[in-house]
Amino acid sequence: MSKPVLLVTRKLPEAVQARATRDYDARLNLDDTLWALDGAEIARRATATGAAAILCAAGDAMNAACIAALPPSVKLIATFSVGTDHIDLPAAKARNIPVANTPDVLSFATAEIAFTAMLMAARRAGEGERLLRAGQWGGWAPTQLMGVTLEGKTLGILGMGRIGQAMARMARGFSMQVHYRNRNRLSPAEEAGAVFHADDASFLGAIDVLSMHIPGGAATRHWLNAERIALLKPGAIVVNTGRGTTVDDAALVAALKSGQVRAAGLDVYDGEPKVFAGYLGLENVALLPHMGSGAVETRDAMGFRALDSVDAVVLRGEVAPWAV
């Protein structure tokens, strides 16, 4: 009996592809070409192969037109990500195609990158490395590249989900106080002493560092705009490892130039892989290439979680354990 066809849109970690090949007629993308940026091409390949499931990734064009054109053979869309911004969920529901993601396994790794970006911004690490690589370092000097310490500072976490809570635990190890803004207040056990704010003004005015962990979409687009930036303490630091669309780039660049924001650490961008040009000439912004979940252990776990859902739906006729 032939194996079900699994259409994989991106090159995945070796261990994940090995498992996919073992259990399925896996149509892999070994060259990691970006054909999945075209929704019509996804649908064409799914139709041509009679795919039973599609294992896609962040940035793929799983839009309404693509999903409407998928063949009846497709029983599941599994995404190699927690976020589902790239998938038109109502369109999938209309086709009765379940969607599964990879929650829980990347929280710590993403929080690590948020903390890395925060340290880079606070201690001017990016500037220091660029100075060395350019051959311009003349040795230690009493006033060279003075940043600010995180010890005793107040970290404000916007979006206190799994990643935000992991970030909070790390911050306490650096003797930081933790405040947070969330749709709902957490239980005392989840708060672990963090201070909840029910409104933006009190939250932004109380913190030294803002770390953003909110999802994308119309409701959060440009959440950090000029008005909210003005509510921050002068010289605050901004970190974003959530979604690039949640920041008004022009407003943040203006604040970085004026000093209202001392520095920023960014791992996500609006329209990535494009980066807002205003950031590129600034020394006080650390720019990372969407590295949040980029650890070997984490990426393997994400792939295995996606395949767990494919196995459940395609091989056993069950509900996907990680259905959205």
Any residues with CB less than 8 A from the CB of 294 and at least 6 apart, and which? 109, 113
Please tell me the predicted confidence (pLDDT) of residue 63: 98
For residue 120, what are its two tokens? 């880079």
**Which residues are marked as active site?**
243, 272, 290
Mean pLDDT across the stretch 226-255? 98
Answer whether 114's CB lies under 8 Å from 211's CB: yes
Q: Answer whether residue 104 shows pLDDT above 80.
A: yes
- Phi, psi at 286, each rounded to 5°: -95, 125
Q: Answer whether residue 107 shows pLDDT above 80.
A: yes
Please tell me the predicted confidence (pLDDT) of residue 96: 98
Please tell me the predicted confidence (pLDDT) of residue 152: 97
- For residue 49, CA distances in Å to 43, 57, 186, 187, 241 come to 10, 19, 46, 48, 36
CATH superfamily of domain region 5-105+296-315: NAD(P)-binding Rossmann-like Domain (3.40.50.720)
pLDDT digits (tens, 9 = 90+) for 113-135: 999 999 999 999 999 999 999 99
Q: What percent of the chain has pLDDT over 90?
A: 98
Mean pLDDT across the stretch 81-93? 95
Please tell me the predicted confidence (pLDDT) of residue 131: 96
Mean pLDDT across the chain = 97
Q: For residue 161, how far is the Cα from the chain centroid?
A: 13
Please tell me the predicted confidence (pLDDT) of residue 217: 86
For residue 259, what are its two tokens? 């000093």
Any residues with CB less than 8 A from the CB of 295 and at least 6 apart, and which? 109, 112
Please tell me the predicted confidence (pLDDT) of residue 1: 74
Q: Do domains 5-105+296-315 and 107-287 have the same CATH topology?
A: yes
Q: Would you kindly state where each structural domain of the chain is located, as residue ranges?
A: 5-105+296-315, 107-287
Mean pLDDT across the stretch 68-93? 96
pLDDT digits (tens, 9 = 90+) for 199-227: 999 999 999 999 999 998 899 999 999 99
Select 107-287's CATH number: 3.40.50.720, 3.20.10.10, 3.30.43.10, 3.40.50.10860: 3.40.50.720
Please tell me the predicted confidence (pLDDT) of residue 147: 97
pLDDT digits (tens, 9 = 90+) for 270-305: 999 999 999 999 999 999 999 999 999 999 999 999
pLDDT digits (tens, 9 = 90+) for 145-182: 999 999 999 999 999 999 999 999 999 999 999 999 99
